Structure 1
């Protein structure tokens, strides 16, 4: 699609989107008297949206018509408020208007997703899976993650801090040296995208204070997007495990990341993980590997 065609498509989508959102909001929902009469079309009129958003009627009409006008984030936010847009709809409005969208937020009705996420990682058994927040703090994990990666209830667990400070993980990870730079580069990318977030700064300060190796890698200023990392671990019961760790995100919960470990076709890893999850393997799993 050429630049001109794409721009024309966005303007058309912007017009249809604003009209459809405007039709959803009744005068009463917007705090206006309904006038007691029937409207020819449902929802708010263009002039009412303009007044409630604090913009000129002509300007809003031009916006809804998709004209090439100057648009600011503040004005779009005012329009989004009047039209009662969700965070996803607000981001969509920004994109259609040609602006960089605001950061994704967790919708209030999506904050309680723990049961669904628990089902997701439990369904990944017998392979390790866990969920962490934006600061790499552990949120939940499945049984395989406890057996293979040493995650345990009642223990404060941060994937970045533990990677550099847990001596058991360090001693049993054959891929530690290879992965360390990627772990730091991916965390730096998150910090750079959230420069005013104190949570990242707190984790960063702790990591720099407790690990000279982290501090040295941090000074290299490498940047990587989160993706996949190969992990090789020596488990005391089954020996070498070769896995691929994949970080995945759900747009509806941008504050969380799902980390799935997939066995590679090496060292008979899949069969070993299946054995560790069996009743016999559970009885023998007395020496978990940290991770």
Structure 2
């Protein structure tokens, strides 16, 4: 008798009265989803010429964290037991959209999990914005669960080079040239940033917005795609950011992520000058110069002197 190796007993092929048409549909669906991806799409090296387009079965198995034999049986449409957790892993490996993920569940004979609608975004309270503004000249901002900026202060916008086009902290870290260029140890921080985002995604497994956002960033950043494919997790709530600002000079901050009890999906990021780095003095001088250079600064000063 053939030995099928690593597949658990509950997942081995067995007789069933399951629908042949459904299993055939599952087979064709998985094959076509696999064929539309290249190794580069998922951050894997291309290994030689391929007879057929797309990922190989063993590559999908590696990305999903399942056995090669088990995934082969799944794609062949064999009647095997599957769990929601494994289907979600396959869906992530194949970069399935939310409708495609639900379709995969139905083809596998499971009811798709109900996707809870995202909680409406709360407006920023004036007191919260005052807290951020009062933290200047030190940078501070509020992120939602998907790392979109809810509120920022002037110091954060100036120091990190955030513009009106930067709506998401993860996207800005990988695509904003000013932000990337300012981070002295960007290559060292990037894996931590991606690991933190995967940690947050893992806390909300039923929220498809994380996967959609990861897909968006992967499409424009090969570095992110490669790091995302590693599946590393870094639940870091504090650390060091070392920056090289074009005008303020070398800046080193200790940062801390704090929950907001009245906004359970959001968190506050505070940055403090690291002791012994000279950051506090350079920051004070530079932000004072920025304030002085604002268009309304001179007229205000002239009016004060005239009074």
TM-score range, shorter chain: 0.5 to 0.7
Q: Deviations over 1:233-284 (max 9, x none)?
A: 1111121001122111112211111111110024310111112221x33346
- Residue 140 (structure 1) aligned to one of 139, 143, 151: 151
| Correspondence list, 1:112-127, <5 A | 112-127=123-138
User: Any conservation in 1 of the 2:137–2:284 contact (CA below 8 Å)?
Assistant: yes
TM-score (norm 1): 0.56
User: Any conservation in 1 of the 2:156–2:162 contact (CA below 8 Å)?
Assistant: yes
User: Any conservation in 2 of the 1:242–1:266 contact (CA below 8 Å)?
Assistant: no
User: Any conservation in 1 of the 2:124–2:151 contact (CA below 8 Å)?
Assistant: no
Task: Give the match for residue 209 of structure 1.
Answer: 219
Deviation at 1:204, TM superposition (A): 1.0
1:129 pairs with 2:134: no
Structure 1 ranges of 4+ moved more than 6 A: none
Question: d(CA) in 2 for partners of 1:146 and 1:113?
Answer: 17
| Correspondence list, 1:1-291, <5 A | 111-152=122-163, 154-278=164-288, 280-283=289-292
Higher relative contact order (CA 8 A, sep 6+): 1
User: Any conservation in 2 of the 1:237–1:284 contact (CA below 8 Å)?
Assistant: no
Query: Match of 2:275, SS?
Result: coil
Deviation at 1:141, TM superposition (A): 0.7
User: Any conservation in 2 of the 1:189–1:225 contact (CA below 8 Å)?
Assistant: yes
TM-score (norm 2): 0.54
Q: May I ask how many residue pairs the two structures share in their alignment?
A: 179
User: Any conservation in 1 of the 2:192–2:234 contact (CA below 8 Å)?
Assistant: yes
Task: Give the match for residue 78 of structure 1.
Answer: none
